[in-house]
Chain A
């Protein structure tokens, strides 16, 4: 297997982790909004921020995979 294939698997693993994380955030946010509809706006904005934090970790994985895949100049 080439190094590109290994990098792609790494990016996929990072995506799994981010999927679990964002799923948990989204699920809890929905639950909280259903319990307290008056807090809808606040919960949504903090859920978005937290999703961005989780997503950043997956994106670090993607960037590393890209660095492996990109032709070295």
Chain B
């Protein structure tokens, strides 16, 4: 198997000069963006021969392709070129019995069926369906039972920088860049007139304040919750947009249930801890109804505390994932029918859905933020008799 793996430190240096220099000149405080250059220095672009046996004879399976795109992965698979996969590899970080083990995902040479065995730190690893397995003592190849489950391997604790983690850092970096630039332009301007990027950001911030914060939480208390609402709004929005960029190959971050779970957990914690006496009274002993009804309502209200964040989690996850699946399913129509005649129809439809999805990115960020604000408003509402 021919492997030609080269580290692109010179490429990274060029990229640093070309892309980051103008930005650095603009923002003097962000001089030490070591993080960004570190990332790029860590990657190496590798061309490795694909372990494809069937070639074109292999039947195209849209379900398989779509699931690969929607799920998280160790590395960005960009495209196939002359039968070789062109990809960006990402670091794999594992916590095994022998301690921390790290290597690049290019060590697997794009193998996903457990054939390529990587030996590091006294243990053997294989990649199987996107997950890293550690082979048991003495085993040299992975063995399967009749349901295609590995029998002689176990999963170590995997804290790798996967493509979702990587994309999250990219979006955090972009958000910092945009908002620090905006904040600095306010400092410079004489009478707080927005200039540059700030004139784009200010209407959005004002929108979150006037259309989400104040009507849902109320004039008196909304200021406490504005930092969270703004963070959630812009973070979800930018991650939704990044998920739609085709070259990033379905870094489906906001369509990942762990990601939406964490965001919903924050909303849940803030709601629970900012709940006042009135809020808890309405849950445990509903005022103004007869006693049997109070007893009947209590379990329903207690379940309600948990279903609210759960529905937030499922809504964002399912909306974004469904959008990705629809676009990919329309594209795979070309390969199902094996005809170029269907391509214009397929491209037109997926363009149409993509435009709708661009609207959905903003709407879902808005819905998540406004519902969070609604729950905070419910938790802090004063009793009115």
Q: A residues within 8 Å of B by Cβ?
A: 41, 45, 48-49, 52, 55-56, 59-60, 62-63, 66, 69-71, 73
Contacts and interface: CB of A to CB of B under 8 A. Distances in A.
Contacts of A60: 314, 318
A73 B129 contact: yes
B311 A56 contact: yes
B371 A52 contact: yes
B9 interface: no
Sorting the interface of chain B by its residue count into under 10, 10 to 19, 20 to 34 or 35 or more gives 10 to 19
A55 B315 contact: yes
Contacts of B370: 45, 49
Contacts of B315: 52, 55-56, 59
A62 B318 contact: yes
B322 A59 contact: yes
11 contacts: A45-B370, A48-B363, A48-B366, A49-B367, A55-B319, A56-B315, A60-B314, A63-B317, A71-B67, A73-B129, A73-B131
Sort A-B residue pairs by CB-CB distance and give the 3 closest, nearest first.
A59-B318, A52-B367, A56-B315
B367 A48 contact: yes
Given A41-B211, A45-B211, 5 more contacts: A52-B315, A60-B318, A62-B322, A63-B317, A69-B63
Contacts of A69: 63
Contact of B318 (A45, A49, A63, A70): A63
Interface of B: 63, 67, 129, 131, 211, 311, 314-315, 317-319, 321-322, 363, 366-367, 370-371, 374
Given A45-B211, A52-B367, A52-B371, A59 B129 contact: no
A41 B129 CA distance: 48
A33 B315 CA distance: 27
Contact of A63 (B63, B314, B367, B371): B314
A49 B131 CA distance: 38
A45 B319 CA distance: 19
Contacts of B363: 48
Contacts of A62: 318, 322
A66 B129 CA distance: 18
A59 B371 contact: no
Contacts of A73: 129, 131
Nearest to A52: B367
A66 B371 CA distance: 25
Given A69-B63, A70-B67, A59 B367 contact: no
A55 B321 CA distance: 14
Contacts of B131: 73
Nearest to B67: A70
A73 B67 CA distance: 12
A63 to B, nearest CB: 5
A6 to B, nearest CB: 16
B184 to A, nearest CB: 33
Contacts of A66: 321
A62 B366 CA distance: 22
Nearest to A73: B129
Contacts of B374: 49
A10 to B, nearest CB: 14
Nearest to B131: A73
B63 A59 contact: no
Contacts of B63: 69
Contacts of A52: 315, 367, 371
A72 to B, nearest CB: 9
B311 to A, nearest CB: 5
Contacts of A55: 315, 319
B319 A59 contact: yes
